[in-house]
Copies of this chain bind each other. A is one copy, B any other.
Amino acid sequence: MSAAQATLNRQVRLARRPAGLPKPEDWSFTSEPVREPGAGAVLVKTLALSLDPAMRGWMNEGRSYIEPVGLGEVMRAGGIGRVAASRNPHFREGDLVSAMVGVQEYALIEEAQMRKAGLFAIDPRAGTVAQWLNVLGMPGMTAYFGLLEVGQPQQGETVVVSGAAGAVGQTVGQLARIKGCRVVGIAGGPAKCEWVVKELGFDACIDYKAGTVRAGLKEHCPQGVDVYFDNVGGEILDDVLAKLARRARVVICGAISQYNNTGAYQGPKNYMSLLVNRARMEGMVVFDYADRFPQAVAELAGYLRDGRMRSREDVVQGLENFPDALLKLFRGENFGKLVLQVAEG
């Protein structure tokens, strides 16, 4: 690993807290020499990064479910990498690993930080690097535990998921189908809707850009919505609330339509539908289920293997394109899980 001494680690840091959509000036690009790991540490070379709507929240000041990224710090990001050097008995050079590596080419992870960084070795036979950031990664875990633990779908029920062509949504819908539910997606544009129905096997998909969410729900959910997995918030949340079935469960996973608001979030005006329908709305944070990730990964990898589940990733190349790539999420331009490839595997 002496060669690494000469290698530069390029990094993207949070320079300023954004107001609204992140702007180029909110980021700074730095580089520093790659350091050799000390006793117990590993050096991970980043291969691919997960770009997630939640990142927008991490850029804001103030307590949330996770501390904000500090100004001047390397932007937080989960990713897949290869161990470039190890002084830890659990990891060998060449191992593929998943960890919160940050938006940088190399991450030096001290032994004491490994738990917090979520460092673990991944099995390349279970899925591709991109799939390990998608179905087998945080989006997949979020879909799995959010749908099954919080949503508790029963066979024959109607499950609606927004952001249906996105990372979490694609797995939520396919999983709900596997569990015997009728599944209706909500996505932006005919191409995504067609993919969700034809390739992923959803029963229907409503194009919110066509402004037909209410009509679509009426058509495709004649018995009402038993489980709504919400990734978007805003008007769509209100539209679905208006169509809840008795004892419905609304899983609050995200609110991408609101993350770049400079003012307050738009609250769900139809929340009294929870009363009328004896329904509940519940939030979830995927990290709470970390102990059970291996079980979920095994189940989902099985579905990928036997063809019952498909995945789609939208791969952007190059660390330097991080700021632009992130914006694709908030413009709804990504089609499938958005991945930033930083290096070849």
B-contacting 9-mer, from A177-185, A263-271, A307-315 = A263-271
Instruction: Report how far A285 CA is from B278 CA in the complex, Å.
Output: 7
Decide if A283 touches B278 in the complex (CB within 8 Å).
yes
CB of A284 within 8 A of chain B? Answer: yes
A267 close to B283 (CB less than 8 A): no
Q: A252-B272, A264-B269, A270-B265 are in contact. Are A284 and B278 (CB under 8 A)?
A: yes
Query: C-beta contact mask, A270-297 vs B, less than 8 Å → 1, else 0?
Result: 1111111111111111001000000000
Q: Is A167 an interface residue (CB 8 A)?
A: no
Residues of B within 8 A of A265 (CB): 269-272
Contacts of A266 in B (CB 8 A): 267, 269
Given the interface pairs A238-B267, A267-B269, the reply to whether A283 lies near B288 with Cβ below 8 Å is no
Total interface residues in chain A, CB < 8 Å: 33
For the residues of A in contact with B, the DSSP-based class is: loop
Q: CB distance B283 to A276 under 8 Å? A: yes
Asked, given contacts A280-B280, A281-B280, A281-B282, whether A65 binds B269 with beta carbons under 8 Å apart, the answer is no
A63: B residues at CB distance < 8 A: 276
Q: Are B276 and A65 in contact (CB under 8 A)?
A: yes
- Residue from the list B65, B271, B280, B284 in contact with A271, Cβ < 8 A: B271
Give the oligomeric copy count: 2
A255 engages B283 (CB within 8 Å): no
Q: Which of A36-83 contact B (CB under 8 A)?
A: 63-65
Residue A267 contacts which of B64, B267, B277, B284 (CB distance < 8 angstroms)? B267
Residues of B within 8 A of A272 (CB): 233, 252, 255, 258, 265, 283
Pair B267/A274 contact, Cβ less than 8 Å = no
Closest beta carbon of chain B to A239's beta carbon, Å: 13
A138 proximity list for chain B (CB < 8 A): none
Q: Is A253 part of the contact surface with B, judged by Cβ < 8 Å?
A: yes
* Distance from A261 Cβ to chain B, minimum over Cβ atoms (Å): 10
Residue among A238, A258, A267, A275 with most chain B CB within 10 A: A275
Q: Which residues of B contact A238 (CB under 8 A)?
A: 267
Q: How far is the CA of A145 from the CA of B320 in the complex (A)?
A: 57
Residues on the B chain within 8 Å of A253, using CB: 275
Chain B residues near A274: list those with CB within 8 A.
252, 281-283
- What residue of chain B has the Cβ atom nearest to residue A244's Cβ? B283
Contacts of A264 in B (CB 8 A): 269
User: What string of 1s and 0s marks CB contacts (under 8 Å) between A230-256 and chain B?
Assistant: 000100001000000000000011110
Closest A-B pairs by Cβ, 7 of them? A267-B267, A275-B283, A274-B283, A280-B282, A267-B269, A267-B268, A264-B269
